C-alpha cells in the first residue's frame, strides 16, 4: 500500500524552520563546495561553444540529481533518516534568512548615511557595480534583489522539494548556482553559459509566478496592498527582460507602493530596465518592509510545500 510521504513533508518543514532560526550554515557550506567543483570542471571543459556549456551543465546537475535519487531511495524505508536528510538538504538549499540579514545590513548602513559600507554590502545582494550608486540607487538595488531572490533563494527550492523531494531540492540548487556562475552575459559566458541560463529560466518559471501570487496574498501582512501587487504584476511583470524576475519585482513594487527598474550598471555593461510599479522610488526605510513581505511569502511557501508533500503517496 502506498502511504503519505509524511517524512519528506516533516523534513521540509524542519529545514525551513532551521533557516528561519539559523540562516545558512556558516562553515563548510555544501553549496560553496559545489561551486568550487563547478569551477574546477569549467576549467577543464570550457570552450566558446554552447555544446561545451551544455556538457558542463549536464555533468554537474546530473551528478547532483543522481546523488539525490540515491539518497531518496536509500531512505525510502527509513523514515527517521528521511526526515533528517530532507531537513538538512532543505536548510542547505534555502537562503531566505541570509537574504534578509544582508538586506538588514544594507538598511543599517544607509540609515547611518554610511554609503561606503552600503556599497561594500551590495555584492552580497546584486551583481551591479556599486561604485557609482548613491543611497537611493543602493536602496532600489536592495529592494529589487529581495524581490527576485525571494523566489530564487526560498520559494523555488521549496516548490521543487514539494514536487520531487531530495532530488528536487538538490537539483534546483545546482541549476540556480550554475546560472549564477556562468549564466550571465559576458564575452566568456555568452555561449558557454547559454544552457545554464536557459535551464534556470525553466526551473524558475512556475516558482516566480507562485512568488508573485503569494506576494498578492501576503501583502497586507507587511502593511502593503494586495490590489496594488496584483495590478503591477499583471501590468508590468512581462516588461522585464527576464521571463521570471519581473513578476517578482513588479508584484512587490505594487504591494509596497514603489516603482522599481531603471538604469543598472554591470561593470562595462549598462542596461536600461523598464519601470515596474507606479509608486515612488524606494528609500532606505522601504528595505525592512520588503524584508517583512519576503519573509511572509516564503514562510507561506514552506507551509504549502509541506502540506502538498504530505498529501503525496510514496
Position 1 in a domain: no
Q: Of the given ranges (8-12, 119-123, 199-203, 306-310), which has the lowest mean pLDDT?
A: 306-310
Q: Which residues of 159-172 are buried (b: 16+ CB within 10 A; e: fewer)?
A: bbbbbbbbbbbbbb
Position 51 in a domain: yes
Position 32 in a domain: yes
Q: What is the average per-residue pLDDT within 27-51?
A: 93
Position 235 in a domain: yes
Helix axes 135-150, 245-256, angle to 10 degrees: 120
Position 200 in a domain: yes
For residue 1, what pLDDT band results from cuts at 50, 70 and 90? very low
Whole-angstrom distance, CA of residue 14 vs CA of residue 9: 9
Helices marked H in 75-204 — which ranges?
Answer: 79-93, 96-111, 115-121, 135-150, 156-182, 189-192, 194-203
Q: What is the average per-residue pLDDT within 149-172?
A: 97
Position 204 in a domain: yes
Position 260 in a domain: yes
Q: What is the average per-residue pLDDT within 88-108?
A: 96
CB 146 within 8 A of CB 99: yes
Helix (H) or strand (E) holding 287: helix 286-310
Domain that holds residue 262: 6-310
For residue 314, what pLDDT band results from cuts at 50, 70 and 90? low
- Provide the domain count of the chain: 1
Q: Provide the β-strand partners of residue 80.
A: none
Q: What is the average per-residue pLDDT within 300-310?
A: 94
Q: For the full predicted model, state whether its pTM sits above 0.85.
A: yes
Position 231 in a domain: yes
Considering 114-118, 130-134, 306-310, the range whose residues carry the highest mean pLDDT is 114-118
At 85 the pLDDT is 96
Q: Provide the β-strand partners of residue 276.
A: 260
- Tell me whether residue 256 is exposed, middle or buried, using C-beta atoms within 10 angstroms of its C-beta: 0 to 12, 13 to 18, 19 or more: buried
Integer CA distances (angstroms), 133 to 250, 265, 281, in order: 22, 9, 14
For residue 265, what pLDDT band results from cuts at 50, 70 and 90? confident
For residue 98, what pLDDT band results from cuts at 50, 70 and 90? very high
CB 247 within 8 A of CB 233: yes
Nine-digit cell at 271?
542596461
Amino acid at each position: 500500500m502506498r502511504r503519505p510521504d509524511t517524512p519528506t513533508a516533516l523534513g521540509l518543514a524542519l529545514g525551513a524552520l532551521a533557516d528561519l532560526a539559523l540562516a545558512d550554515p556558516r562553515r563548510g557550506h555544501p553549496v560553496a563546495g559545489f561551486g568550487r567543483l563547478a569551477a574546477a570542471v569549467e576549467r577543464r571543459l570550457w570552450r566558446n561553444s554552447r555544446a561545451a556549456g551544455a556538457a558542463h551543465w549536464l555533468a554537474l546537475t546530473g551528478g547532483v540529481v543522481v546523488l539525490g535519487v540515491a539518497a531518496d531511495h536509500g531512505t525510502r524505508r527509513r523514515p527517521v533518516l528521511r526526515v533528517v536528510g530532507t531537513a538538512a538538504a532543505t536548510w542547505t538549499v534555502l537562503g531566505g534568512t541570509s537574504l534578509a540579514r544582508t538586506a538588514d545590513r544594507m538598511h543599517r548602513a544607509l540609515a547611518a548615511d554610511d554609503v561606503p559600507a552600503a556599497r561594500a554590502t551590495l555584492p552580497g545582494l546584486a551583481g551591479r557595480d556599486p561604485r557609482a550608486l548613491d543611497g537611493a540607487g543602493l536602496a532600489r538595488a536592495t529592494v529589487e534583489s529581495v524581490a527576485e531572490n525571494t523566489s530564487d533563494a526560498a520559494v523555488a527550492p521549496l516548490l521543487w522539494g514539494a514536487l520531487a523531494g531530495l532530488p528536487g531540492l538538490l537539483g534546483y540548487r545546482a541549476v540556480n548556482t550554475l546560472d549564477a556562475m556562468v549564466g550571465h552575459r559576458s564575452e566568456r559566458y555568452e555561449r558557454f553559459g547559454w544552457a545554464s541560463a536557459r535551464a534556470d529560466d525553466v526551473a524558475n518559471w512556475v516558482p516566480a509566478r507562485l512568488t508573485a501570487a503569494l506576494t498578492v496574498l501576503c501583502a497586507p501582512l507587511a502593511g502593503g496592498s494586495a490590489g496594488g501587487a496584483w495590478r503591477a504584476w499583471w501590468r508590468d511583470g512581462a516588461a522585464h527582460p527576464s521571463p521570471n524576475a519581473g513578476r517578482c519585482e513588479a508584484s512587490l513594487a505594487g504591494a509596497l507602493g514603489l516603482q522599481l527598474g531603471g538604469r543598472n550598471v554591470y561593470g562595462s555593461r549598462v542596461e536600461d530596465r523598464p519601470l515596474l510599479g507606479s509608486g515612488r522610488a524606494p528609500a532606505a526605510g522601504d528595505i525592512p518592509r520588503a524584508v517583512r513581505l519576503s519573509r511572509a511569502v516564503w514562510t507561506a511557501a514552506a507551509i504549502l510545500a509541506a502540506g502538498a508533500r504530505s498529501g503525496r503517496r510514496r
